[in-house]
Amino acid sequence: MMVNMNAQMQALASSVRSLRLQRGLSTVELSRRAGVARATLAQIEASGGNPTLETLYALANALDAPLADLIATPRGAGAPRVVRSEEGPHVVGDAVEAWLLETVTSARASLEIYDVRLHGTTAQVSAAHPRGTQEHLHLHSGRVRVGPTAEAVELSAGDYISFDAGQEHVYQRLSGSDVRGTLLITRPGP
């Protein structure tokens, strides 16, 4: 995976400067509180240098902020999150291969979004999930048999299914072509 160090340094510079100003600190005062040379702080705020972890922790402590507040690339409201094809946490089953794209949790529910692919003709039989769990599949390519084991249906590219996953269910590739879709799993909150 390629990492854009320039973008990371710009995010660090922006975060340090923003937190310093929010706290009403001058560069001299932050430098003193953190025990970091003023030249080092100036270099960091100018998106330069390569600060050590110790330097970053010293700044975070002096700013009374978690380290993550300094180093995370802010997404902001509505900022895009990009997960490239075949990146992210990856799981493989008997017939299903999936990459986790995103998780969203609230007090009312949780949502997992996966990029899924089906291989071979073996059926992927899944045991019942906790009560209230729903699975939603939008099929992008190929043909599959999917749903509660006793009520599985055939889907073709473009089709969608939603079903109660609180019972045994199945995913099975029916076509020789690539089978790919987007799977959403929803669960009620605690």
CATH number of the structural domain spanning residue 160: 2.60.120.10
Which pLDDT score, from 0 to 100, does residue 169 have? 93
Supply the pTM of this predicted model.
0.60
Q: Which of 1-5, 28-32, 115-119 has the lowest mean pLDDT?
A: 1-5
User: What is the number of domains present in the chain?
Assistant: 2
Burial of 17-40, coded b for 16+ CB within 10 Å and e otherwise, reads: bebbeeeebeeeebbebbebeeeb
Domain identity same for 124 and 43: no
Which pLDDT score, from 0 to 100, does residue 55 have? 80
pLDDT of 43-84, one tens digit each? 999 998 777 656 876 787 788 765 556 766 555 567 777 878
Domain identity same for 94 and 25: no
CA distance 74 to 177: 40
Domain identity same for 113 and 172: yes
CA distance 35 to 63: 12
Which pLDDT score, from 0 to 100, does residue 115 have? 95
Residue 78 domain-assigned? no
Domain identity same for 15 and 97: no
Is the pLDDT higher at 48 or at 189?
48
On the question of pLDDT at 2 being above 50, the answer is: no
